[in-house]
């Protein structure tokens, strides 16, 4: 397979990230109209942010660069198949395509095992490893009523 | 059920968030040792960040406040059952418990339907709504080799 320059850049960034000690071995590049508009690397440990996976960092940067919360006509190149958090972020950001290098299995072999999160999604609340407890549902529904009634509503 | 002050605060923040036009009808509060250490509301549209759901905003703020990437002994109170992205973020942040108000069904009724993301997690890559394409796996595995060899490695 011919080398893809965007994926090659993502790999380069991931390796630099490890060497500099900034975080885990993951990189991502976001491309629109043939141009790299944002990059991201894993910064969980260096920024104390468990959500700072390469894809999330890149999505946030790309949206900031574009001034929008949607990645229309953008492609994401990531060095590894996204974890469930990043997959969710990708669906909310709505890019065109996602290209990935390593597989979830490769990540698990390297010590990054997110299979337990996928597995937990299918487990009833009461049986999950982190306890999920329903509380004050009736009161909380007031939030949705306020939304329905709001003249300031911007759908997303 | 007696009113829980943390959930009541999350609901109050969500409603304020809607009224001010800053974002969607969601709020979250993170509590450690009986004290609120961070709060978050949905800021997707006001900050152009599709990852700025209430839980993610609160997790990032709590980790910043604590100076750590793990939410040991913390409880999260969120006005609605977390979407898959937020659920992933919660598992990476590892709090003790999660209390939620509205259910995923309530959110869907209010127009916030993340069921398609859960569904997509179980769909083969080639059949997903957003195309996921494997690319340069062999080259990408160099990232994990760099990680295994790195003296700067901080596990997370």
> Are A18 and B83 a contacting pair at CB < 8 A?
no
CB A118 within 8 A of CB A84: yes
- The model's pTM is 0.95
B32-57 tens-digit pLDDT: 999 999 999 999 999 999 999 999 99
pLDDT at residue A22 in the model: 96
Chain A contact for B94 (CB, 8 A cutoff): yes
CB A39 within 8 A of CB A28: yes
> Are A143 and B79 a contacting pair at CB < 8 A?
yes
A56-95 tens-digit pLDDT: 999 999 999 999 999 999 999 999 999 999 999 999 999 9
Contacting residues of B for A93, CB less than 8 Å apart: 50-51
Three-class SS of residue B75?
A: strand
Instruction: Give the chain A residue nearest B55 (alpha carbons).
Output: A51
Chain A contact for B91 (CB, 8 A cutoff): yes
> Are A92 and B130 a contacting pair at CB < 8 A?
no
Residues in chain B where the model's pLDDT stays below 50: none
Among B144, B146, B153, which would you mutate to test the A interface (most chain A Cβ atoms within 10 Å of its Cβ)? B144
A109-133 tens-digit pLDDT: 999 988 888 788 778 888 888 999 9
A138 is catalytic: no
- Select from A56, A91, A98 the least CA-distant residue to A74: A98
The pairing of strands B35-41 and A74-80 is unpaired
DSSP summary character for residue B155: -
Chain B contact for A137 (CB, 8 A cutoff): yes
Chain A contact for B127 (CB, 8 A cutoff): no
Length of chain B: 156
Chain B contact for A153 (CB, 8 A cutoff): yes
> Are A135 and B110 a contacting pair at CB < 8 A?
no
Q: What's the alpha-carbon Rg for chain A, to the nearest Å?
A: 18
Average pLDDT over residues A5-11: 98
Per DSSP, the residues of A13-56 read HHHHHHHHTSS-S-EEEEEETTEEEEEEE--HHHHT-TT--HHH
* A43 pLDDT above the threshold of 60: yes
CB A111 within 8 A of CB A105: no
Instruction: Name the A residues in 21-40 with CB < 8 Å from any B CB.
Output: 21, 23-27
Catalytic member of B3, B16, B55, B81: B55
ipTM: 0.94
C-alpha distance across the termini of chain B, in Å? 38
Residue whose pair of structure tokens reads 């469930």 in the numeric block:
A84
Instruction: Name the B residues in 39-58 with CB < 8 Å from any A CB.
Output: 44-45, 48-51, 56
Instruction: Give the chain A residue nearest B10 (alpha carbons).
Output: A140
Q: Which residues contact A19 (CB under 8 A, 6 or more apart)?
A: B146, B150, B152
H helices present in chain B, as ranges: 5-20, 44-47, 54-66, 84-93, 104-109, 115-121, 137-149
> Are A19 and B150 a contacting pair at CB < 8 A?
yes
Buried b / exposed e over B17-37, threshold 16 CB at 10 Å, is: bbeeebbbbbbbbbbbeeebb
Chain A contact for B73 (CB, 8 A cutoff): no
Chain B contact for A16 (CB, 8 A cutoff): no
> Are A15 and B146 a contacting pair at CB < 8 A?
yes
DSSP summary character for residue A126: G
pLDDT at residue A2 in the model: 62
Q: Which residues contact B19 (CB under 8 A, 6 or more apart)?
A: A146, A150, A152
């Amino acid at each position: 397979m011919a080398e893809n320059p965007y994926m090659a850049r993502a790999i380069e960034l991931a390796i630099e990230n490890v060497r500099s000690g900034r975080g885990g071995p993951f990189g991502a590049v976001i491309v629109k109209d043939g141009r790299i508009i944002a990059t991201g690397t894993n910064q969980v440990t260096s920024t104390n942010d468990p959500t700072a996976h390469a894809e999330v960092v890149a999505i946030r940067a790309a949206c900031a660069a574009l001034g929008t919360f949607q990645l229309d006509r953008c492609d994401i190149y990531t060095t590894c198949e996204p974890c469930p958090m990043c997959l969710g972020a990708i669906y909310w950001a709505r890019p065109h395509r996602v290209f990935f290098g390593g597989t979830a299995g490769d990540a698990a072999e390297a010590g990054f095992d997110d299979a337990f999160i996928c597995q937990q999604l299918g487990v009833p609340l009461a049986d999950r490893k982190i306890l999920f407890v329903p509380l004050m549902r009736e009161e909380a529904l007031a939030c949705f009523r306020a939304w329905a009634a709001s003249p300031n509503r911007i759908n997303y």
